[in-house]
Structure 1
Amino acid sequence: MKVILHIGAHRTGTTSFQMYMRREAAGLQGQGIGFWGPARTRKGLFAGIQPVPGLGATAAQRARGRILLQMDRAAQNGVGTLVVSDENMMGSVRRNLRARALYPDVGERLARYVGAFDGRIDTVILSVRALDHFWASTAAYGVSRGHAVPDAHGAMQIAMGARTWRDVVQDVACAAPGARIVVAPFETSAARPDTMLAIGTGASVPVDRTPDRLNKAPGPDALRSILTDRGEDPDQIARGTGRWTPFDISARAMLREAYADDMLWLVAGADGLATLTEDLDHARAGQTPPYGPRTRGHPPHDKQERRMAEPRGS
């Protein structure tokens, strides 16, 4: 059985992808494509894979046994390709905000899932998003779920963080060394779950005729209302109708620059670790990379010495 892990990241259209998979379950099953989403993975199937205080190694062994048993059952029911989608495999929004870093332990976490699947992972699909938008969406979602509003110092710490998508891709590749790593930018993949599935499976899949964007980040007024209901100062969030961001112009410029370096590294081949899918009508990136210095994203022009972008408006 071919096993495909769709690991997210959060805030990159994972809920829409999972809804598409559930909506088209019958048609996909007819093509031998099975689906495990959060409705299954978070109701006991994955329990014990990640260390839990008070539980020993036997919990992970039992989780591995459950997964392999259900994989065998799926195979007996005609499933040749199993798509497993759960962004929490990478970590959590709360963990990112607390650490002010991009999935700091994704390598260790994913390695445990790879072990739980007995190393049978064929493909890992990772979605990335422009870092200024990713962190703004992450912060808004976190605030709506009880996290404190990031102050100016905290927002700048995030923007100045050394960890970017390049580090995440490298960690994922190390955790799943035998798997094909596919990276899909949110900007071209969020509204196209069907095409993303086709790239992962290599099959002709049902067209998504209801491309809804689900689980959108709340806007400024909604966040102000949430803070008011919690008894907190709503003026921590400026009034407005567009996307809320805790970052000033300089911080946004730093995050944009880091993402540009990440994308150039991916376009240049990601050191052979991953395949970037810029155009979801093709399985690989185009032959002509974006205009810009070809050495950016690689030493000595890597992210540790990246230049600052000129600040622009939002």
Structure 2
Amino acid sequence: MDITLHIGAHRTATTTFQTYLQDNTDHLARNGIAWWGPKRTRNGLLSGIVPLPGLLPPERQFARAAGRIGLHLDRAAQQGMRQLIVTEENMLGAPRANLRAGTLYPHAGMRIGRYLAAFGGRTGRIALSIRSPDYYWASCMAFALARGHGVPGPEQLARLVAADRSWRDVISDIACAAPGVPILVMTHEAHGAQPEQRLWHMTGGSLLAPMTHARNWLNRAPDLARLRGILRDRGRDPQALPAGEGRWMPFDAGQQARMRESYMDDLFWLRAGADGMAVLAEDDADGQWSDAWTGTGAAAAQLPPGELRRGQDGIEKGRMVGNR
């Protein structure tokens, strides 16, 4: 069975993708594709791969987790599944830990190495979504503020801007931990609102992905109006946030420009071959989906965007605090 680990990153429309898979589970199963998402992975299945404080020693926790995974994989194979997508962004780390460290996923290599080992060397592909760091950090901070954290000050913002760890470093760490495992990189800007394209790329172009429920946009970061209301409800000054409506962008224009320049450097590196470490999924301007691995394509369905839904459906629980 071909296994793809979709490891995030956070704040790159992972909930939208996971809900799309949920809504199309029957269609996928008829085509021999199974998927595991947070409702399964955070219900004990992956617990112990990264050791948790407790009575059991780390090696015992890991052995139990590997055993559970093996049983579930065997069951899926017996049901006739030929492909499995495991979509769990907490494999990579947690946004709160990133904010605390002031950098992107500092333990990505160690964590992914442990997950690959727990899957018994059966992983055929790793899929990673990335996003321009100014919007990535802004979205993380909006969620953190909504969950009780304070408004970041100038020093914290400057620290994030000055951080020298970029997506290239994250990808390099993953590649070192996963020798021989292909790494597929997709940008949030190109694929965040198109889960059917993500699925097509993750399956190596083997499935013409369904368009059903493909435009339900979920779990967007809270906007300025909502964040001001949250501060007001806590008895804090809503004027700590800027005036206006829409998306909260805590970085000034100069800081945004610096972070976007770093992102452009990462994308240039990926398009130039990423030193053989990863492949960037990009689609042609004429609507043709080009498989990152083979160069073959499939015509993208040109459908109206449809209604976008906002909000949370419970699947996001625990996303900011890591595995549970």
**TM-score with structure 1 length normalisation?**
0.88
| Partners of 2:104 and 2:86 in 1: CA distance | 22
Contact 2:280 2:292 in 1 (8 A): yes
Pairing 1:61–2:69 present: no
Per chain length, whose mean CA-contact separation is higher, i.e. which structure has more relative contact order (CA < 8 Å, sep 6+)?
2
Query: Structure 1 counterpart of 2:197, which letter?
Result: T
Contact 1:32 1:79 in 2 (8 A): yes
How do residues 1-314 of structure 1 correspond to structure 2 at under 5 angstroms?
Answer: 1-54=1-54, 55-56=56-57, 57-202=59-204, 203-210=206-213, 211-279=215-283, 281-284=289-292
Deviation at 1:207, TM superposition (A): 2.2
Deviation at 1:171, TM superposition (A): 1.1
Query: Structure 2 counterpart of 1:15, which letter?
Result: T
CA RMSD of aligned residues (A): 1.6
| Partners of 1:128 and 1:274 in 2: CA distance | 13
Deviation at 1:98, TM superposition (A): 0.9
Alignment match, 1:294: none
Query: Structure 1 counterpart of 2:235, which letter?
Result: G
Q: Which runs of 4+ in 1 moved over 3 A?
A: none
Tell me the SS of whatever aligns to 2:185: strand
Alignment match, 2:320: none
| Partners of 2:118 and 2:207 in 1: CA distance | 29
| Partners of 2:254 and 2:181 in 1: CA distance | 38
Query: Structure 1 counterpart of 2:209, which letter?
Result: P
Query: Structure 2 counterpart of 1:204, which letter?
Result: L
Please list the CA deviations of residues 115-152 of structure 1 after superposition, one character each: whole Å capped at 9, or x if unmatched.
Answer: 11011110111001111111111111111122222111
Deviation at 1:239, TM superposition (A): 2.4
Contact 2:6 2:127 in 1 (8 A): yes
| Partners of 2:99 and 2:236 in 1: CA distance | 19
Question: Size of the alignment, in residue pairs?
Answer: 287
Tell me the SS of whatever aligns to 1:281: strand
| Partners of 2:173 and 2:291 in 1: CA distance | 22
| Partners of 1:248 and 1:212 in 2: CA distance | 31
**TM-score with structure 2 length normalisation?**
0.85
